[in-house]
Structures are given as structure tokens and as C-alpha cells.
Structure 1
Amino acid sequence: MSSNRARRIAKEIADIKADTHSKISVEPVKDDDLTHLRGQFMGPPDTPYEGGTYFVDIKIPSEYPFRPPVMKFETKLWHPNVSSQTGAICLDTLSSQWSPVLTIKSALISLQSLLSTPEPKDPQDAEVAGMLIRNPAEFEHVARDWAVKYAGAPKKESGEGSGGATAESIKKKQQKDRERVEKDRLAAYHGYSKDLIDRFVDMGFDVPAVVAAFEYVGIDKMDGQDYELEEAYMGDITARLFNEA
């Protein structure tokens, strides 16, 4: 594994451990292998998955962060965008919409959000999607039963609804969850202009490295506005990125 990739993954794991608020965790499957991880998060509230603990197998490709991590659920769950047989996931954040700005943490947050906002019209599991579209109440019943059986969720009293995964709840939560993912993505820029940082990202550097170089050189954040850097600063940043300063 390249030293840059190893440093980034190690930093991402450390950042996740430092963030106790999100209640997301990641650990290497083997202590000396940062390319194979195991993620964990709780089922989101007001969904059939509430109270369950969900484990995700994570494999880091050699091209990371320019290619997304390969993730699949270890915990069985009843969800239209997750295979009920293999745990394979249908999520654009882990495929066409992946960006080097994203992290293992933001990917796991996206998975957690997916449990709140299923997309039955773009399914990984057609049987589950069909049930959600035709009979949302039956879908909730089966999803909750699986959460109790496979994810350790507590049983609810008879007549107590989970409150999620209906058409109404999907519409209500969709925008909120998208905003949360976008906020996490932009936080990686530490207040600098996204366009300014991305000009270096387009040269093949990852966002955390560019931001660290900017902060080391002392580049003004200019309240997040884009602007042209002086040539001397460009040289200092580039030298820092290439470990020459």
C-alpha cells in the first residue's frame, strides 16, 4: 500500500474514533491491514431498522480515494437497495457519484441515510422493492422482523409502529438527509473555497492533503471565496504536496 493512501486511511479511522456524536465505528479486520475494514452503525430512528446494529464489510481499492471503497452489508436486512441474499448495495455515492472528497465516514453516513430513504424505483432487490411499492405496511413488518432477528433490534409492543419507510416519510426526510451528506462533504474543505482546493485535486492530490498544505503555507481562507493564488504561493503549496518543504 502506498504511504499516502495508508496515511489517509489511518487518519480517516482516527477521525471516526474521535467523533463520538455520529456513533459510527470502523476497525481493520486484521490489525496490520488497512485495506479491509469493518464498519458499524445503528439503525436510524423512526425506521423499521431502529435499535439494530448493522455491520458493513469495507474493502479499499488500490486507487482509493479516486475509486470508492467496496462495501456490502454483513448484517442481513430487508431493504430495496440492499440484496437480501448477498448484502450488495445499490447507492450512487459508492459508484457514479463518488468523489475523492468523500470519506469512509461519509460513505457510512450515506448508508445509514439510505435506511431512512429507500429508493424502490432503483432497486438492488426487486422482491423487496415490489413489496414496498405495493404494500408499505407489509414491508415495514418484514423489515422490522429482520431487524429484530438479524440486527438485535428490540421487539416493539403490538400496535407500535416504526414510523418509517412509507411514501410520506421518504418525502419528509429526503432533503434533510441529502443536506447532511453535503454538509459532511464540504466540511473536508475547512472553510476554503471548493473551487480553489479542487484545482489542486484535479492535479491528482486528495482534498485532506491539499487543505493541510494550504494551512501549512498559511493561505487566507477569504471567507470561502474563490480567488487566484500568487505564483509564489502556488510553488510553496506544490512543494509541500510533493514533500519538498
Structure 2
Amino acid sequence: MTAAHLAIVMPAYNEAEGISGFIDEIRQHVGPLVGQLTFVVADDRSTDATVAALQNIDDVRVEPQQVNRGHGPTALAAYRAGLALHPDLLVHVDGDGQFVGEDFARMLKAMESTGADVVHGVRHSRTDPWYRRTLTSAVGMLIALAAGRRVPDVNTPLRAYRPEALRMLLDAVPAEVLVPHVHFSLAEARSGFTVRYLSVRSIPRRGSSTSGTMWGGGVKALVPPPRLRQFANAALQEAWQLSLRPGAPLRSIRLENSRS
């Protein structure tokens, strides 16, 4: 057994087509490894049947958000709702289901065998549009310069945390932050966290609807949609203010007694 209680948290927006099947697949692979498994879905005011698809499932808790706030704030809300359950380990993944269940089991086993504070799932075979892959690479280069070393897949949404490490990161970022995982990756690299990186498979979003992505533009867009271009500009300004500039608040995080 890798954990007495595992919380798996998901931000979701219009994922009715695939989210329950995704949860079933994760449960199949990680259920035998933990004593108790709880899924926490932070729903970002979906306009489809996402919430209805998750009702009456014993191990799923749905946390509807008061207003639609986008991916970053909803991810943070999911993290906080998961921590409130006092789990031994916590895993974050987006509700669009772009991962396979067996990799969740591999992450838990890596957490147990290495004693890491955090395990990142590093995506291979990504099927996202070219501009999203390019944006991730560009941000990764910026973070490498700031951290003094390369951070693989800096914005990956698949992450396993020990609660004490996650609390320190959550306490350092505002609730409305746009790119929490970029800030987390940089703080982890700078601040004494023991981080392990695990190659995981990336698959297309589960569901055919183009309205389900939290990033805008749908799954078949050939050029960056306006919403994503605006988001990228705002995210870069946020990264400078919170993580990159001299005296930025996230530069002061230090995790004591990290694992080797």
C-alpha cells in the first residue's frame, strides 16, 4: 500500500463526455494501491452535464465554483479542497482525461520508492496543437534560466504531492493566479524540494466536443485562438511579478527537511 488515503483532484469545465470514464480508469489502477481513494472535482461552472455525470458516485466529491474563473484558479480550488480532506498523498490532473490510468499507479510507486516531495508526469507523444507545445517549451526555457537548471514539462498538470510540500506552495500564491504550475515548478527547483520526473503518455482529450477545453479555441484550431494569446501575455506578466523579478514573493520559499 502506497497511501492510507489518496486524494485525486481535478479542475473541470464541460467534460461530461469523458470525465466519469476517466475516473473509472484511474480507480481501476490505483484503487488496489491505497486504503482510501477520493476524487475531488472542482467544476468551473460547466454549461454541460459535467456535474450530473458525477452525481451519486461514492468516492467523488464535486466542488462547484461560484463563478467561471479559468484553469489556474480552479486548479488551486481543487488542490485546497483535496487538502481539506487530510490525505496522505494528493495527485492533480486536469479533467479532460489526457492521461492513462496505469501512469497514475506508476507515479504512486515512484513517490513511495524515491521518497520525493513531488513527482511530475512528463508528457510524451503530446497531441495538443503546435502552439500549446511551443508555449510550454518557451516557458520551460525561461524557467530554466531563472532556476539554473532545466525543468522538464514545466506546466504539466499531472503531479503527485506530499501535503506538507503542497501547502507551502499554495500559501505562496494568490487564489486567482493564472499559471500555478509554472510557479510551483520554479519554486520547487529553487527551494530544496525533492522532485522526481516520470515519463507518462499523453493522449487526446476524451470527448469530441470543442467546448470542453479550459483554454479556448477547441481541439482542432490551427492557429492560437485570441483567448490563448491574451492568456500567454498575462501569464508572462504574472510570472515576472510573482516568481522571476528580484524580490518576487515565490523566490523566498524554502522547504525544510526535504527528502534526498
Larger Rg: 1
Shared fold, TM over 0.5:
no
Q: Which has the higher contact order (CA 8 A, sep 6+)?
A: 2
Q: Between Structure 1 and Structure 2, which shows a larger proportion of strand residues?
A: 2
